[in-house]
Amino acid sequence: VRTETTIAGLRAHLKSVRSRAQTVALVPTMGYLHEGHLTLVDRASKRADHVVVSLFVNPLQFGPAEDLATYPRDLSRDSTLTEARGAHTLFAPSVKEMYPKMPEIVITAPALSDRLCGHFRPGHFSGVLTVVAKLFNIVQPDIAVFGQKDFQQSVLIRRMVSDLNLTVEIDVAPIVREPDGLALSSRNIYLSAEQRTAAVALSSALRWSAAQFAQGERSAAALLTAARSLLDGETGVTVQYLELVAPDTLDSVETAKPGDVLAVAAFVGKTRLIDNVVLGA
């Protein structure tokens, strides 16, 4: 796999790719890839001739008390993993390359960013949207693939593409889980053995409510109470939010319908984990 670290280098390379009439897919990541990311690479390979994976820990999307400094990074490992899955180009720019100066112009989504994770992470989604818009402009992909685990992020990116008439197609891939249900995340490496066991409560709680929905329960209050009691019963898990929302507006619903999303964020020790399930999927 070829690695480009500069915007000019990547653009020159992709110009020659496109001159051979090849289509380009982008998989934006912050690196330290796991199987969830690699399935995004698989999907990208099926949809385009040339797959670019970006690896960039974006400082703009981390809050002052968050894990920017300790976020895991390993370019050579990511390079081996993506090569094995057929990616063609890695784009691994420095912070200086992406932000020679702090951007004055940023993308914000005031209402949608105030919901779910955004409510607890002020500025996070503006940082995400701004870097994703930059990556779209740098790579100019035909398609970009994101993961459903970052559900709110995928909603915001689709909305950005629609509101700003961007030409890229957005594909969102289902969550990849460990055999016991834990959603894969680069942050799972922060968990101790004990916390790793406790963390299963997130997916178990969501699965339990989704099963109740499948059996006919439609009351959001009932579905949330069931999930909440499972989470609250797990020592070491502190729920930040648990909500049942409509998939496009992220508004809370009272009566659940297929396609609504049950989303959770919880701290397991100091590690903040998120997960979600689409009802009736």
Nearer residue to ligand PAF within complex by CB, 50 or 149: 149
Cβ neighbours of residue 33 closer than 8 Å, sequence gap 6 or more = 53, 55, 77, 78, 81, 82, 186
Whole-angstrom CA distances from 217 to 148, 241, 243 are: 24, 21, 16
CB of 86 to ligand PAF, least distance (A): 20
CB 147 within 8 A of CB 82: no
Helix (H, G, I), strand (E, B) or coil at 60: helix
C-beta of 14 vs 40, nearer to ligand PAF: 40
Instruction: Give the nearest distance from C-beta 147 to ligand PAF in angstroms.
Output: 7
Out of 10, 39, 40, 58, name the contact with ligand PAF by CB under 6 A: 58
- Letters for 103-142 (x = contact with ligand PAF by CB under 6 A, - = none) are -------------------------x--xx----------
CA gap 59, 73 in Å, rounded: 13
Question: Is there binding between residue 153 and ligand PAF (CB under 6 A)?
Answer: yes
Cα 41 from Cα 43, distance rounded (Å): 5
Decide: is 160 part of the binding site for ligand PAF (CB under 6 A).
Answer: no
Is 30 near ligand PAF (CB under 6 A)?
yes
Helix (H) or strand (E) holding 171, with range, is: strand 169-173
Looking at the Cβ atoms of 187 and 218, the one nearer to ligand PAF is 187
50 is catalytic: no
Q: Where do contacts with ligand PAF occur on this chain (CB under 6 A)?
A: 28-30, 58, 61, 128, 131-132, 150, 153
